[in-house]
Amino acid sequence: MRRTLAFLATLAVLSSATATPAAPLLLAQAAVSPDEAAAIAGRKTGGRVLGVEWGEGAGGPVYEVKVLKKDGSVTKVPVPAKAGNRK
C-alpha cells in the first residue's frame, strides 16, 4: 500500500499542472513525505486517500490530498509540506 501511494504521489507530482519547475527540488526538501501527507489527511477525514498532488499554497509548499470520505463525497485536504505538521 505504501509503495502504491508513493508511486501515485510521484506520478501526481510529475504530471501535476500546479507543479512549478522547481517542484522536484522543493519536494526533495519537504519535511513531510507524500506518504505522511496521505496519512495525515486520512486521519483528519477518516476517509480513504485517492491521490496526492504537490503544489504551492499561500503559506508555502503543500500536498493536496484527494480523499474519499465515509459519506461518499470526495474532498481535497491541503497538508503543508514543512516541519511541524505531522498531526
Grid cell of 54 as nine digits: 504537490
Q: Could you report the per-residue pLDDT of 9-27, keeping only the tens digit for each?
A: 555 554 444 444 455 545 5
Three-class SS of residue 79? Answer: strand
Q: Could you report the per-residue pLDDT of 37-78, keeping only the tens digit for each?
A: 999 999 999 999 999 998 888 888 899 999 999 999 999 999
* Threshold 0.85, pTM exceeds: no
Grid cell of 30 as nine digits: 519537504
Residue 59 is given by DSSP the state T
- In this structure, what are the phi and psi dihedrals at residue 32, rounded to the nearest 5 degrees? -110, 130
Residues 6+ apart with CB under 8 A from 74: 50, 66, 67, 68
Q: Tell me: pLDDT of 86 over 60.
A: no
Round to whole Å and give the CA distance between 67 and 77. 7
- Could you state, in order of their start, the residue ranges of all structural domains in the chain? 2-80
Q: Could you report the per-residue pLDDT of 1-10, keeping only the tens digit for each?
A: 555 555 555 5
Q: Are 47 and 65 in contact (CB under 8 A)?
A: no
